[in-house]
Structure 1
């Protein structure tokens, strides 16, 4: 398994305030019109930074709540195909790492799963679903 870590997802309480803040640092976010509460920005060198509201995060990750005293960060790793998401999830959970959300097909066209790193940070595994 050799996934590509290319996305950082920050959970925010106020999307507009966060966009304004990061704009002051030179980042230009595009709000996703199909997914309220979500915005993204391509960073220099290739990584993508996403901002997701707590409300959207609670919808996509049932049972999620903001941890007290812990940063609400999810790291996302792209895999080459949907089957690789399932395989990576099985490999990581089989090695004793805790699964947070088993693989599922998203409404935005991805195969997705989440495991937790040893400190409890969310590690998303994803791949584009074949076009219909």
Structure 2
């Protein structure tokens, strides 16, 4: 099984300001999208960097509270099958039981654990520290 690191997600209270900030750092972020539900840009090498406003996260995670301090970055790795996701999930939880928060479901802009011909299986990870 080969994993491919493919997604970094940023939750923000002010999508427009966040896009402006990353644009100032040289990323090609879209302008005029401050009220969007989800934004993605593809980085060199194919990794996707995405932004979600708090309202988007609340739509699939009721009771979500915007974190303070470290731990506001999430990412996903992809593999070629749901079994690969399940195996990776078990391995990471076994090796790091108190570290990442793993979710084997869908994430906005990321395929879920049931791949089709145009999707890959994805494991979403939220890190406790930035």
* Same-fold call, TM cutoff 0.5: yes
Greater share of strand: 1
TM-score, structure 1 normalization: 0.65
Mean Cα displacement is larger for which, 104-113 or 42-51?
A: 104-113
Give structure 1 stretches of 5+ with no counterpart: 123-132
RMSD: 3.2
Q: For residue 22 of structure 1, what is the aligned residue in structure 2?
A: 22
TM-score, structure 2 normalization: 0.66
Give structure 2 stretches of 5+ with no counterpart: 114-121
Higher relative CO (Cα under 8 Å, sequence separation at least 6) belongs to: 2
Cα separation, partners in 2 of 1:19 and 1:116, compared to 1, 3 Å: closer
Q: For residue 110 of structure 1, what is the aligned residue in structure 2?
A: 112
Mean Cα displacement is larger for which, 22-31 or 10-19?
A: 22-31
User: Stretches of 4+ moved more than 6 A in 1?
Assistant: none
SS in 2 for 1:104: coil
Alignment partner of 1:41 is 2:41? yes
